[in-house]
Amino acid sequence: MKRCGIVLCLLLSVCLSLCACGPGVPDTRPPHEEIPTQVLGTVLQELVYADASGYLVPTARRVARTEDCTALLKRLTNGEFNAAFFDETGLHGVLPVGFDVSANLVSGVCHIDITGEWQTLSTADERILVRGVVATALALPGVEGARLTFNGQELKTLANQTVVSQVFRAMVLNMDTSVCSDVDRGYIATLYFGGTERSLLVPVGRVLPGAVTLASAVSQLCRGPSSTSKLCAVMPTGTSVLSAAIEDGIATVNFSAAFANIAAMPDNGVQCARAVILTCMQFPGVDAVRFQVEGQPFETDLDMSVGSFANAF
């Protein structure tokens, strides 16, 4: 499925509603489409970087409309021109120092050549490089697939058996097998947790044994990161999902009483609300999200609006 395109910035707000239980059919990709921004000939474009713990973090950066695939992918390097951005976010490039990249788009497939001493990469660095570059490419306008070569050569795998031979059509940035280890047969729910750097949200593809519904996805968000994860929970302690449904483009989630403590969280609950809304947005046809607590409309003075990007700068 195509992960790019130009859409109007979607603002979602918490409003009033009653809900009934019902499943949804998930689009397991994180919501991260390009949003036109009429500011001095620039657009917001999603680019993927890594944090200090090795998690891949999608970020929307303002770039010139004239930048092509090569120019945009070069933004993934650890060059000096990224220094200020890295200082601000605590992130770093997915392309190691000494690596470079070039690309051209042919019939919807972005052909990417990465130059550098790939034989010296660790298993973790291979994962960060391949997933970060491919995910960024798939978010570029007009790209439906991505293919990698290294120093001009087609490879089946890298030194640590990272497969790079296929045309990639989708990419899970941070895989979580804490619930189900059968990646091939499982179903992926995209959840958003607090990052290890600043107030960033990090998407996690949690593998579940059964089909993903709105209720199961938000319930997994309430469950929090895995016990081995360095990510942070975003929901108030003790929150559970009582019911969830999608009707007429509105996802309504009915939480237990603990959710009412959202305003007492360090950031007044803004990150929590954004994580819930983004998690709901993986389901096709969802245009808005409504919160309830114990079946009653949840009212708050907080600004619960959120754009299509997990993180924007």
Q: Could you read off the pLDDT tens digit of each residue along the chain, which spans 313 residues? A: 333 332 323 333 333 333 333 333 344 344 444 444 445 689 999 999 999 999 999 999 999 999 999 999 999 999 888 889 999 999 999 999 999 999 999 999 999 999 999 999 999 999 999 999 999 999 999 999 999 999 999 999 999 999 999 999 999 999 999 999 999 999 999 999 999 776 899 999 999 999 999 999 999 999 999 999 999 999 999 999 999 999 999 999 999 999 999 988 888 888 999 999 999 999 999 998 999 999 999 977 665 555 678 898 8
Q: Do residues 136 and 48 share a domain?
A: yes
112 and 212 belong to one structural domain = no
Nearest one of 212, 224, 222 to 187, comparing CA atoms: 212
Residue 310 placed within a domain: no
- Residues 195 and 288 grouped into a single domain: yes
Q: Identify any residues that bridge with 246 across adjacent strands, giving them in sequence order.
A: 251
The verdict on residue 25 lying in a domain is: no
Locus of tokens 């708050």? 300
The total of structural domains in the chain comes to 2
For tokens 């819930």, what's the residue? 276
**Spatial distance between the Cα atoms of 27 and 74, rounded to a whole number of angstroms:** 29
Same domain, 121 and 179: no
Whether the CB-CB separation of 3 and 142 falls below 8 Å is answered with no
* 20 domain-assigned: no
Q: Measure the CA–CA gap between 177 and 34, rounded to whole angstroms.
A: 29
Strands of 81-226, DSSP E: 100-106, 109-115, 145-150, 175-176, 187-194, 201-208
Q: Which domain holds residue 240?
A: 175-297
Burial group, residue 245, by CB count within 10 angstroms (0-12, 13-18, 19+): buried
Question: Same domain, yes or no, for 120 and 54?
Answer: yes
Q: Residue 11: enclosing H or E segment and its boundaries?
A: none
Residues 183 and 125 in one domain: no
What does the pLDDT read at residue 22? 36
- Residue 163 maps to a domain: no
If asked whether residues 118 and 216 sit together in one domain, one would say no
User: What is the pLDDT, as a whole number, of residue 263?
Assistant: 84
Other beta carbons less than 10 A from residue 295's beta carbon: 11
* AA identity, residue 263: A
pTM of the full predicted structure? 0.84
d(CA 61, CA 59): 6
Neighbours of 254 (CB within 10 A): 25
Do residue 121 and residue 70 come from a single domain?
yes
Claim to verify: residue 133 and residue 187 sit in the same structural domain: no
Query: 3-state DSSP call for residue 292?
Result: strand
Q: Answer whether residue 162 is part of any domain.
A: no
Domain membership of residue 312 (yes or no) is: no
Q: How far apart are CA 173 and CA 180, in angstroms?
A: 17
Category of 248 on φ-ψ map: left (φ > 0), alpha (ψ -120 to 50) or beta: left
Q: Does 188 lie in the same domain as 139?
A: no
Would residue 65 count as lying in a domain? yes
> DSSP character for 145?
E
Q: Tell me whether strands 288-293 and 250-255 are parallel, antiparallel or unpaired.
A: parallel
- The answer as to whether 14 is a domain residue is no
Contacts 24+ apart (CB under 8 A), 63-67: 65/41, 66/41
